[in-house]
Amino acid sequence: MANSPQAKKRARQNEARFAVNKARRSRIRTFLRGVEEAITSGDKEAAKNALQVAQPELMRGVTKGILHKNTAARKMSRLSSRVKALG
C-alpha cells in the first residue's frame, strides 16, 4: 500500500483516470457494437450511418490515449470493408 503522501495521491489519481478511461472505452465499444449489428442485419444504409458515427468516437479514443492509432485504423478499415461488401 502507498505510504508517502505523493504515492497516496498517485493512487487516487490512478483510480479517477481508470474510471474515466473505462467509461470512454465502454462508449467506443457501444458505437462499434452498433456498426456490427447494422452489418449483421444486412442494412447497408444503416451500417454506413453507424460507421460514420463510430469513426469520430474511435479517433477520440486515440487522442485520449485509450486506443493506439494503428488499432483504431485497423478497426475502421475492417469495418468499412465489411460495410462496403454489403449488397
Give 57-73 pLDDT, tens digit per residue.
999 999 999 999 999 99
Task: Note the pTM of the prediction, 2 decimals.
Answer: 0.85
Give 29-62 pLDDT, tens digit per residue.
999 999 999 999 999 999 999 999 999 999 999 9
68, 62 Cβ separation under 8 angstroms = yes
Compute the Cα dihedral for 5, 10, 15, 17 and give only its sign: positive
User: Which domains, from first to last, does the chain contain?
Assistant: 5-85 (1.20.58.110)
pLDDT band for 87, please (50, 70, 90 cuts): confident
